[in-house]
Amino acid sequence: MSSVKENQSVRNACILVEAVAAHQPIGVSELARRTGIDKSAAHRLAVTLHHAGWLQKTPEGRWRIAPALTAVVARAGIDSLADGARPPLEALRDATGETAMLVTVERGSLVVLDVADSPHALRITAPVGAALPIRSSSALRAIAAASPPDAVDRFRRIDPGLDDDILAETRARGWALNDREITPDTRVVGAAVVDGAGTAVAAVIVCAPSTRVDGDAIERTGALVAAAAARIGSTLGDPT
């Protein structure tokens, strides 16, 4: 056991942030009651966290988590997701011979989190951090098919082509296909990565020249992509 003593003020700040996240927007009196922290101390902590950019105060004087903290936590979660996805991506690349990527939706684009490049001289690839086209993408179709109706509505504002037939077909087979709809002679197969809370947080995609992935190869690739996405998702706990 460590001999280093914990800092009670920091510990209380952590408890307070957790309480705000669970019950926002919430007033100081309720925060004190729920956390067991003295009301004046809870107020000082809330004000300090507000100045740090982690809490926001509503016009009614209640507290909620600030977007800055949400962004920090989201980015940390994405980085952890990418770290854990590397072995499945490499295995998928080896099984298909094609480029495998982990992507997520950020601000209306598909952002590449990790890439395992195909060994072929002729390959489809993109660097980590690149923004990929999102309309008609297999990744967005897969993520939308695994999302609740309110999220689907948001995705349809990005891609009006997300019709019910496409989503139903994706759900039925467990993966989505972009068949030369964005780039000629390129097929992309994608499957959603779902965390322990049932939220589609990313997608695994395999990108290939259409001459190498057609007919039965599409079905085989789809099954492999879906298995890789499920493997990655199994490592993710419930964030709540």
Neighbour tally for 106: CB within 10 Å? 14
- CA 83, 72, 140: angle at the middle one, nearest 5? 60
Q: Are strands 99-106 and 109-116 parallel, antiparallel or unpaired?
A: antiparallel
- The average pLDDT across 180-189 equals 93
Per DSSP, the residues of 172-198 read HHT-EEEESSSSTTEEEEEEEEE-TTS
Please name each of the domains of the chain with its CATH number: 8-65 (1.10.10.10), 74-234 (3.30.450.40)
| pTM strictly above 0.85 | no
How large is the average pLDDT for residues 91-112?
92
**Terminal Cα-to-Cα distance of the chain (whole angstroms):** 28
Q: How do residues 29-86 score in pLDDT, each as one tens digit?
A: 999 999 898 999 999 999 998 988 888 888 888 998 887 776 566 555 566 677 778 8
Instruction: Pick the closest to residue 29 from 51, 61, 69 (CA basis).
Output: 61
**pLDDT, tens digit (0-9, with 9 covering 90-100), for 133-178:** 999 999 999 999 999 998 899 999 999 999 999 999 999 999 999 9
β-bridge partners, 103:
112, 203
DSSP β-bridge partners for residue 114: 102
Q: Kindly indicate the confidence band of residue 228, based on its pLDDT and cuts at 50, 70 and 90.
A: very high
pLDDT, tens digit, for every residue of 103-141? 998 878 899 999 999 999 999 999 988 999 999 999 999
